[in-house]
Structure 1
Amino acid sequence: MTNSTGKALTNAEKQKRYRIKQKQSGKKELRGYLTPEALACYSEIQQKTDWNDSLLLSNAIRLMYAAHKCGQIGLLYNWLTEHKR
């Protein structure tokens, strides 16, 4: 990749361009740390679905929203607690 002056882009410049393109397409970057329990769940879901990190996070948030709208957050949280997940 080169910029308008013909010089090769640095890795930081490529990452910045990528983040700008993603932001322009309406996407938002989220970061966080997973607990050991969540990491085990993540690994199991990733293996069964072959989803990448981005798709897995997007679907997880959408599913939580659906559970919230259906009044099932408490039920899901209780299941997670009972099964130590």
Structure 2
Amino acid sequence: MTEKKKALTNAEKQKRYRERQKDIGKKEMRGYLSPEALECYKLIAEQTNWSDSTILSNAVRLTYAAYKNGQIGLLNNWLTKNDL
């Protein structure tokens, strides 16, 4: 006789997915977007077809690149002047 395996619940599937992502070195980040940032997100998603994860990863990497190249002040001033 073979026993049927119990189906996983959505919560169990999500937990397993998060654990696999963590095992391969990825970190989950959460936050809320301002209306301005949400508009930017929509434009980026439409033009690039990137996933949420790719958009977030690239945003962090670009911010870090600006910081490392001494351009973080310039970037912040541009965002402030352009209401973004």
Deviation at 1:47, TM superposition (A): 1.1
TM-score under structure 2 normalisation? 0.92
CA RMSD across the alignment:
1.0
1:36 counterpart residue number? 35
2:14 counterpart residue number? 15
| Deviation sequence 1:27-81 (CA, Å, 0-9, x none) | 0000000001111111111111110100000010001000000000110111111
- List structure 1 segments (4+ residues) > 4 angstroms apart after TM superposition: none
Structure 2: runs of 5+ lacking an equivalent = none
TM-score under structure 1 normalisation? 0.91
Percent of paired sites with the same residue: 67
Structure 1: runs of 5+ lacking an equivalent = none
Task: Count residues with an aligned counterpart.
Answer: 81
Deviation at 1:25, TM superposition (A): 0.5
- Residue 64 of structure 1 aligns to a residue whose secondary structure is helix
